[in-house]
Structure 1
Amino acid sequence: MQSVFTFIKKYRYIGLGILAIFLLSGCQAASGEPIDPETAGFFDKYFVLTFSHIIKVVASVLGDNYGLSIVVVTLIVRLALMPLMLKQMKRSFETRDKMKVIKPEMEAIQAKYKDKKDAESQRKMQQETLELYQKHHFNPIASMGCLPMIIQFPILIGFYYAIRSTPEIAQHNFLWFNLGQSDMIMPFIAALIYYVQFRVSQIGMEPSQQKQMAIFGLISPVMIGVVSFAAPAALPLYWAVGGLFLIAQQLLSKKLYQSKLKENM
């Protein structure tokens, strides 16, 4: 039986990822009407309207090219968040390597209490697990690394709403599609990019971890694709650019941190 800390750590990214997708897909039900600055709430005023203004300013600099503006602002936002993401990924790699060291002793504890289901035995198993963590100076709560993702949510969701609530975007074309109308190609591109991003994130994982995360590798791209079919093409464009950036970021973090951790082992 796995400890509660192991369970939470194992499935934290699935839960947070699905929560983010549901939040974004829930925005699809919104009208997408422009926000009135006079009646806007805190989030709309300081996040959505700010991003909307930035999109307009960048578009004006780029000759009223709102598609290119979305690409540029998406990259700027992702670059701004990159230090947080790299810190989170470094911690994730460190945790993964430490868990490899702890795993044999953890499995020995689990095997010891495998057939003991009474409350006292379970209490002893949890106590021995905590002592094992202390022995290896491992803090399962601190290793979860959820704070960077929580900090990102209002920024990314605010940007998402800004794209939906900026009427100027819908009046322009980019590449082969109209930014304000749904497109039949962009959803497939966005979904494919996020599937590739998921596969890249699995590089270096143990087979057991890859298996546990497999369902999320399908849920995320499928939901993004489904939402994109009914959304203005500006949104799958935003997701596609963000996904490509995440792929590059993950490859960079693996090169930086995995190699260093191996050298220090």
Structure 2
Amino acid sequence: MRKRLFFVISLIILVGLLSGCTQYNQPIDANSTGIWNEWFVWPLSQFITYIANLFGGSYGISIIICTVLVRLVLLPLMIKQTKSSLNMQLVQPEIKKLKEKYSSKDQETQKKLQQETMKLFQQHNVNPLAGCLPLVIQMPILIAFYHAIYRTHEIREHVFLWFKLGQHDPYYILPVLAAITTFISQKIMMGSTGNANPQMAMMTYIMPIMILVLAVRFPAALALYWVVGNIFMIFQTYFVIAPMRKKGNIQSDTGGAKK
């Protein structure tokens, strides 16, 4: 949860910085230069346009489809993250014992504690950094979405349902839905992983507020992206993560199941 909060705050800062740069707020086209424009924004703009053309020019439907495709690509990483997270819960009693055994604060003892902890992680296929990778990958994707939408005139001015993709939702329906679906997805995720940490529970309420602020300030297309992504996450939790925990299939592919 803290990682997701850090992710949202970083996203707001980065989008704000990029939006303020003249180089990155000009219309995007095939002649735009720079690695960010050539390898991220322009290809995504073209891809959104291509999908839209398959559906009668609906850029809104295209963004929904692109969101689902992004989530499907990230699904293997999310599954790996979940396995590592659940394995981490299993080793918590052992970690507690190690901390009690190496309770001294001298440098040599703390070094030994780190070594024993890493050894324990390796034995139980736990990767402490596994939870960061999906968020790290999502950040440039979200920022690229923002730029592809805002800097492509056809996408920015397209009307989908009751809103223009490049403008704020005039009725704030999408920001509210983004906050609600964020809350639901976080609650379901906490229930499926058995996480009863009070600090994490607090983050469950902080995250929707952060998403609401983000969705109100940025183009409605980003709120649409977030709502669809959260709905995908809810189904992912029900059909992938929850069964994984129930069956005890939380070891790595080579490590077998752990009951």
In structure 1, how many angstroms separate the alpha carbons of the residues matched to 2:92 and 2:201? 22
TM-score, scaled to structure 1: 0.77
Residues 103 and 62 from structure 1, CA distance in 2 versus in 1: closer, same or farther, beyond 3 angstroms? closer
Distance 1:48 1:24, change over 3 A: farther
Count of residue pairs the alignment pairs up: 244
Equivalent-residue separation in structure 1 for 2:75 and 2:101 (angstroms)? 43
Q: Does 1:76 pair with 2:55?
A: no
Aligned to 2:253: none
Describe how 1:22-171 pairs up with structure 2 within 5 A. Answer: 22-24=10-12, 26-28=14-16, 30=19, 32-93=25-86, 95-96=87-88, 99-100=89-90, 102-112=91-101, 116-119=104-107, 122-123=110-111, 125-126=113-114, 129=117, 133=120, 137-138=123-124, 142-145=127-130, 146-171=132-157
Question: Residue 189 of structure 1 contacts residue 240 of structure 1 at CA under 8 Å; is this kept in 2?
Answer: yes
Does structure 2 conserve the Cα–Cα contact (< 8 Å) formed by 1:24 and 1:160? no
Q: Which residue of 2 aligns with 1:198?
A: 186
Question: CA contact under 8 A between 1:90 and 1:253: conserved in structure 2?
Answer: no
- Map 1:241-256; keep pairs closer than 5 Å: 241-256=228-243
Q: CA deviation at 1:25?
A: 5.1
- 1:52 shift after superposition: 0.5
1:151 deviation in Å? 3.8
Instruction: Give the drift of 1:201.
Output: 1.3
Letter in 2 for 1:246: M
| Gaps in structure 1 of 5+ consecutive residues | 1-12
Correspondence 1:219-230 to 2 at 5 A: 219-230=206-217
Q: In the TM superposition, what whole-angstrom CA distance separates every residue of 1:137-157 from its partner, at most 9, and x where no partner exists?
A: 1465x3431444434443343
AA paired with 2:156? A
Deviation at 1:120, TM superposition (A): 5.4
Segments of structure 2 that go 5 or more residues without pairing to the other structure are: 250-256
Q: Is the Cα–Cα contact under 8 Å of residues 182 and 230 in structure 1 kept in the other structure?
A: yes
* Structure 1 residue 168: Cα displacement: 1.0
- Partners in 2 of 1:143 and 1:248 — Cα distance? 25
Could you tell me how far 1:254 is from its partner in structure 2? Answer: 2.0
Greater shift after overlay, 56-65 or 144-153?
A: 144-153
CA RMSD of the aligned region, Å? 2.9
Q: Percent identity?
A: 38
Structure 1 position 174 matched with structure 2 position 167: no
